[in-house]
Structure 1
Amino acid sequence: MRITRMLGAAALLFGLTVTPAVADASPSPSASGDDSAPTSAGTSFRTATEVDQGQRATASASTGDYLYWSFPADAGQRPTVRATVKLPATHAAQTWQVDVYDGLRRRQSCQYGAQTRTAEQGSATVELACVLRTVRAWSEPWANDPLPGTYYIRLTALNLTTADLGQPVNASVRVGSKDIGGSAAVDGSLAKPLVPGIAVSSQSDSEDGDTSKAAVLSSIEPDGGWTSGWWSDRWVWTGIGAVLAALAGIGGYALTRGSGRPSRVPPGA
């Protein structure tokens, strides 16, 4: 009976502890209908339009243009970039491509998704997708792993015919992410996220304390700020393991100690 109660308490604790971790693994909430969503795109990395995760950014452009947006991604997130291009009524076959770069302007590979697609002649739209690798809190200097900071989206058409150059198109992008959790946690973190200009800002603040001189080129950050990997649900699973180990020790002791009385009474006792 005592062991049954201990196992029941362990199961209850396990259920209460795992519930928040499972909830954290759900995709980021949608922000459809947000009036603050951008309606234009930049033409270079430096002029990239900032967009928050969950927002749907739109832009009117011409075929042949390079369209740039930027968004923040923190440790433990696996971002997904989706782009839709509405093509003109008449056009030849067009190949469109979406690329994603990190804060160091290193091109990040896609785990899966249609990063490049060809719209056949007369097609109304073309849809692209890129699912990045999970953002790590820290990585070796020589590695090309995604790290916390600003990410850039570049959308453009490839190998256009002369007749299609300059035709009007409407593009939209949306970024969402899934929280992978403790399975992607690493033992380390960056001193600062890879946000353009943040090093200049930190140096200016430390020297004269005048934040007006800070030259931060990107002002967006995840909801709740940059965590830099200080928390993950690996702490939760470590706590669960410790509790279960303690209960197993108590249960083993209860099984092996016996009734507490000697099996035979010595003569004359």
Structure 2
Amino acid sequence: MKKILTIFVLALFGSFLVHFSEAQISTPSPSPTGKVEQKVGLTDVTINYSRPGVKGRKVFVDVEEYGKMWRTGANSATTLAFSDDVKLEGKEVPAGKYALYSIPGQEEWTVMIYKDLGLGGNVGAYDASKELTRFTVKSVNNPVHVESFTIDVGDLKNESATIRLMWSDIIVPIKMTVDTESKVMASIDRFAKNPNASLVNQYASAANYYFANDKDLNKALEWITKAVEFNPNAFWHVQTKARIQAKMKDYKGAIATANKSMEIAKAAKNDFGYIKSNQGYIEKWSKLQ
């Protein structure tokens, strides 16, 4: 009898827990989480943060304060993660994950990159000895009202970008630089020392990089010629060769190569617009001979 009673009580308690769980109320977070994932050059940048709203208040007067440390968001601290070494406002930041804290000012902000991810939003326990670095950034006026605190990564270039903190009518732009050039050059050098016929796209990528960045065009022509030799039906690579020749001011050779690219493209089931683009290049280069 005692055993039966125990089973009954456990069953009743289990039923209560199920109904209690189903009765929980779900509501939206007042400061929802946000995430930014962006590649800058060859570097992956990941930002996790929470997004408080203005909600009719005056930021850094009614909510948060100028001159006081801020977790740079809501809830836990904002975090930044970099797959490679970067520089923020000229300060070295090794690859890794960090917390982002700041001291807002009416004209200038102090930004701190913090190594201890366990601090979270407890800014009262901030330990300056755990800072990786800090720097100052001038804020600028935003003509567009930003209701929810927003972080984005813009002004993207191969070697740089801008991390922007935006809230209400304020923008805090943080300049980030990455070392893309040496990584690309190192990969090209490794490939050039050990070429392989199966790596057609590697030859083409190296040639395109040299072409686009005004490097040794003779080397670019050598590499794209190898790519074409290994895959003579790749009319897109043949056109790249023509463009390199034109940049070297060999317009006669460029026109002949572009005609070859167009001939191959016409034989393909889909030319992806290369027939038209070749015609445009030929017309342009004919005037430059």
Question: Same fold, TM exceeding 0.5?
Answer: no
TM-score normalized by the length of structure 1: 0.21
TM-score normalized by the length of structure 2: 0.20
Q: Which has the higher contact order (CA 8 A, sep 6+)?
A: 1
Which of 1 and 2 has greater Rg? 2
